[in-house]
Amino acid sequence: MTIESTSPSPRSVEGAGRIELPSAPEELQSALAEGRPVAWSEPLSILTYPAAEPSVYPMYLDHRVYQGSSGKVYPLPFTEAVSDTAEPREWQAVHLENRFLRLVVLPELGGRIHIGYDKTTDYDFFYRNNVIKPALVGLAGPWVSGGVEFNWPQHHRPATVLPVEHSIEYGPDGSVTVWCADHDPFARMAGQHGVRLRPDSSVVEVVVRLHNRTSERQSFLWWANVAARVHDDYQSFFPEDVRYVADHARRAITAFPRADRPYYGVDYPALADEQPGADRIDFYRNIPVPTSYMVVDSRQDFFGGYDHAENAGFVHWAERRLSPGKKQWTWGDADFGRAWDAQLTDADGPYVELMAGVYTDNQPDFSWLLPGETKVFSQFWFPIPGIGAAHQATPDAAVHVRRGARCEARVATTAPRRAAVLRVRNGETPVASRTVDLSPGRVESIGFESVEPSTVVELLSAEGTVLVRWTAPVAHSGGEPSTAEEPSAPEQIDTVEELYLTGLHLSQYRHPTRSPRSYWHEALRRDPGDIRTNLAIGDGEYRSGRYGSALAHAELALERLTRRNGNPLDTEAYYLAGLALRRLGRDVEAEEHFGKAGWDGTWAAAAGFELAASLLRRGRHRAAERVLDTLDGVVGHDSRRAVLRAIVLRAAGRPDEAGDLLRAELALEPLNPTVRVLSGHSYPSDPGLLLDVAFELRTAGAADEALAVLERLVDAPATAAGNVVPVAHYVAAGLLDLLGRAEEAAERRRRARASDTSWAFPFGLDAHDALTQSLAVEPDDVTALSLLGMLLYAHGRRRDALDCWERAIAHGGDDPVLLRNAGLAAYSVAHDDELAWKRYGSAIERAPQDARLRYEHDQLSERLGHAPSVRLSRLDGVRDLVLSRDDFTVVYVELLAAEGRASEAYDILTTRTFHPWEGGEGRALRAWDDVRESLGLVPADPPATLGEARSRFTAPQAVGDDGVTDYFATSLPEMLLFSREAEE
């Protein structure tokens, strides 16, 4: 079937102004006519609600519950508001098209697929949001719905609304791929995803490369978050072997597709008694509250969604051995959910998220990447025409088998298939057969009498290759899966092993409210020499910059590990000791430890890299090359090794070999920033990526190249992703000091002090070491002290952070950010209420019109027990600032009602527009109820301007009546900046 390439004109949503998609450029039209896919860059004008500028204050939200794990956002700036007014904006867009599909990728919004349109059925198989309307749902604030969002290394992705690097690649097989790569602000890992179309195929392939380019083991997850437009007749389908689905962290389960028990506060069996079929949670219309459910177990590789009104849908397929995660999320088909829909779109209606997890099957559920490790995988999506919900699918075809008095199998393929054979058999006995011509968008069917236990429906190519095969489902005999249990307190756990494993779970899954250290400390109290626990604590000490303590724990582990066995089974202790020794400047000892760590295959690649890099930094190029020779072609791919070898080859006068090596590496990773810089390609535009490149070049001993990259950061803009300029200056100063160029180093430190520090939130050990080294030279540098304090606070060294900030203040620092940080630490860490109040007061004197600062000041006032009347009197004096923030306004309304001024509160609630935030649902609604009660009015639904609606069901509560946060809570309204912490 030939389909002309035109601008798609899908059925419009009433009242929505649709995004106008341009036709392919004239120079690509011939390629399209010949059946080849094409891609091009061309901006799209999309009505957009701009997000506000981020807060200038670092947000330390370690105890914030977000998606069931830590909502820690530092070092990303946090954005707290979105405009109520939309305006057209030109968005950078990359368009992909072939005979059957039209896609749009938005690099400025995390590289998401914003549009997925099936030309054969005139159907958007991915939810097309015709506006960019952020709601405060993301990890760092704004988040937009629609299309496909790629979440890593946690959910929702830190870079979900930030720009990514991108490029277009044409493959020798005729495919076209749009590559996107981002900067992971937390661990500096590298994530690249390529959106690929092939000739004569309706399959969207997403090729993913996840690379841990750090020296530490890192946890991660990957969820591709697909949105689908829904209504009463939209069905989310899972494989037929799925019997149960689970909530986040498996805190609850229910049967699927018919919920057989209360779930998320909804008694589905009772609803089904009133209305038959109301327990079918595979239909959006039956789910009245925000709900997640994830497949507990399935042996199948596919799932998807089907629109029974439009007779179209889509399938996701990926190998289950890597991609077991299959999930649906919805805001719910009720007033509450529709209020959230209105926050995210103007006229495109509700959606569900059909999420596919790789190396994960739940949330929170994290896996590991070893240092230098690369994981590569693909995910596939394709639209399906009117076959119904797929009962089996492969990347080649999908089949639906209708059972009843007269059975029928309907099939659709993802590529043209002439003379394909559609047949039914019972065992080896033929039942029915047809030869059919198929192509994307076309449905063929075959009828047969009945489904027997041995019935097989299959579609074969003309050459006899099985394209898809369905077999009759087999009844399950096993019981239902168990739900998760909250771990006992450390003193109640019997064994050291269980204490260690419990702490590991809390660390790996980034639990927001319970620390692993209490379990590990209890383990060491019982057995001070336990190897695993010493390594776990030592690793934490190393990551916080306490290198001496990390080394001590590693040596304790080594003492027991090598007492009888000089060649231990696992050499992680040698590796950790090597890392600590390297940071302490004891390079020769570090190399000895890395050499021994390399005896173990698990750590050979990581240890070999560290050893080669250390030798390079010491100018031992031939020795470094010999180490690399033992790694390349033997252990897994690590692009960092290519960088080391290229530097070695250039030093040996072999630049042509270095160029060939770098070109081969770019063929694997087109957007690898360090390889691009070394090979002379364009520099990445993301300042964070450029700083990463400088760190990697410095690690490889290429000091001059690192300095050249750092010089490019001098004028880098401060953006919603942060500000790296001051840290870049301090890193350059440290390098210059090492090179004996003291005057240039001092000039760099002067430039750091003179630079704009807005959104400059340093993080990571390289920044830690640069700031520490600078302070060793100039201990009264207020800027370095302030920045180091922010970094230490984020790394868990709260008392050291407070000391840095107080030293900065003693040396004349009076920046509002510095004073606010010191006040926060005084309350939370030192428990010095008087100092906390003093520091906040000083910050407000410097920035009296800062609404965020005023809000935190009032939150501190509440925690210090100030009377409501006192707080209200203070807020009355800055009423305009109060009303500029949703959270502050809610607090103000509550105080007005409590102090007998409910009519004023009522006026505010009925005239001001609010934007709810995920985890903060219900705050404005509770204020509405309290105000009406204070006025003697009967309960009533809130106005639309409140941004929220009432739910008739009670969902699981994050905080119990006793004030304790539920261990399994998935979100928590409070940001928890002010949280008393025990001494470290």
Q: Which of the four pLDDT bands, split at 50, 70 and 90, describes residue 974?
A: low
14, pLDDT greater than 50: no
Task: Supply the pLDDT for residue 5.
Answer: 32
Yes or no: say if 297 and 306 are a contact pair by the CB < 8 Å rule.
no
Q: Which two tokens stand for residue 327?
A: 């999930």
Q: Tell which residue, 827, 869, 875, 833, has the closest CA to residue 854.
A: 875
Dihedral of alpha carbons 789, 793, 795, 796, sign: positive
Per the rule left: phi > 0, alpha: psi between -120 and 50, beta: everything else, 121 is: alpha
**CB contact at 8 A, 416 and 439:** yes
- Average the pLDDT over each of 65-74, 315-324, 448-457 and give the range with the smallest value: 65-74
Cα–Cα distance for residue pair 676/712, rounded to 1 Å: 15
End-to-end Cα distance, the chain: 69
Extract the tokens encoding 664. 């081969």
Q: What is the pLDDT of residue 546?
A: 98
Predicted confidence at residue 475, as pLDDT, reads 81
Question: 756 with 718: CB under 8 angstroms?
Answer: yes
- Tens digits of residue pLDDT in 319-351: 999 999 999 999 999 999 999 999 999 999 999
Average the pLDDT over 641-649 and give the result. Answer: 97
Q: Where does the pLDDT of residue 355 fall: very low under 50, low under 70, confident under 90, or very high at 90 and above?
A: very high
Amino acid code (one letter) for 326: K
Q: pLDDT at position 16, please?
A: 46
Using DSSP, state whether 734 is helix, strand or coil.
helix
Measured in whole angstroms, how far is the alpha carbon of residue 83 from the centre of its chain? Answer: 24
Own/partner long-range contacts of 820-826 (Cβ < 8 Å, ≥24 apart):
820/57, 820/853, 820/856, 821/57, 821/58, 821/786, 821/789, 821/790, 821/793, 823/860, 824/60, 824/856, 824/977, 824/978, 825/793, 825/798, 825/801, 826/802
Query: pLDDT exceeding 90 applies to what percent of the chain?
Result: 89
Rounded to whole angstroms, the Cα distance separating 216 from 578 reads 12
The answer, yes or no, to whether residue 981 has pLDDT greater than 90, is no
Helix (H, G, I), strand (E, B) or coil at 323: coil
Provide Rg for the chain, Cα atoms. 29
- Region 359-368: mean pLDDT is 95
Residue 621 and residue 648 in contact, taking contact as beta carbons nearer than 8 Å: yes
Mean pLDDT of 401-417: 96
411, pLDDT greater than 50:
yes
Helix (H) or strand (E) holding 683: none
pLDDT band at 424 (very low <50, low <70, confident <90, very high): very high
Could you give the CA distance from residue 317 to residue 394 in angstroms, rounded to a whole number? Answer: 7
Per-residue pLDDT band at 636 (split at 50, 70, 90)? confident
What pLDDT is recorded for position 519?
Answer: 98
**DSSP bridge partners of 105:** 94, 113
464 burial level (CB within 10 Å; 0-12, 13-18, 19+): exposed
578 in Cβ contact with 610 (< 8 Å): yes
C-alpha distances out from residue 636 to 213, 606, 851, 967, Å: 13, 10, 51, 38
CA distance 512 to 253: 22
**What pLDDT does 983 receive?**
59
Q: How many residues does the chain have?
A: 984
pLDDT at 808 over 60: yes
Which tokens sit at 370? 């070893």
More confident residue, 719 or 422: 422
| Rounded average pLDDT over 272-300 | 97
The one-letter code for the residue type at 240 is E
pLDDT cut 70: percent of the chain above it: 98
pLDDT of residue 634: 80
SS3 at position 335 = helix
Q: Which among 460, 267, 264 is positioned nearest to 955, based on CA atoms? A: 264
C-alpha to C-alpha distance for 161 and 149, rounded to whole angstroms: 10
pLDDT of the residue at 975: 64
**β-bridge partners, 196:** 177, 205
Beta strands in 338-373 (DSSP E): 351-358, 367-369
- Mean pLDDT for 713-742 is 95
CA distance 876 to 896: 10
The answer, yes or no, to whether residue 969 has pLDDT greater than 90, is no
Nearest to 730, CA basis, from 713, 712, 748: 748
User: What token pair was written down for 951?
Assistant: 């739910």
Residues 6+ apart with CB under 8 A from 407: 401, 447, 448, 449, 450, 451
| pLDDT computed for residue 9 by the predictor | 33
Q: 945 with 913: CB under 8 angstroms?
A: yes
- What predicted TM-score, i.e. pTM, was given to this entire model? 0.95
Residues sharing a CB contact under 8 Å with residue 492, sequence separation 6 or more, in sequence order: none
Q: What is the pLDDT of residues 819-837, one digit of tens each?
A: 999 999 999 999 999 999 9
Residue 740, classified by CB atoms within 10 Å of its CB into exposed (0-12), middle (13-18) or buried (19+), is exposed
Structure confidence by residue, pLDDT tens digits, 154-194: 999 999 999 999 999 999 999 999 999 988 889 999 999 99
Map residue 234 onto helix, strand or coil: strand
Average pLDDT, the chain: 94
Extract the tokens encoding 744.
Answer: 């240039």
Asked whether residue 961 carries a pLDDT value surpassing 90, the answer given is no
| Cα of 613 vs its chain's centroid, Å | 30
| Residue ranges of E strands in 56-97 | 65-66, 69-70, 87-91, 94-97
Distance (Å, rounded) from C-alpha 690 to C-alpha 717?
A: 12
Q: Chain centroid to CA 515: how far?
A: 22
pLDDT digits (tens, 9 = 90+) for 16-44: 489 999 999 999 999 999 999 999 999 99
Helix (H, G, I), strand (E, B) or coil at 775: helix
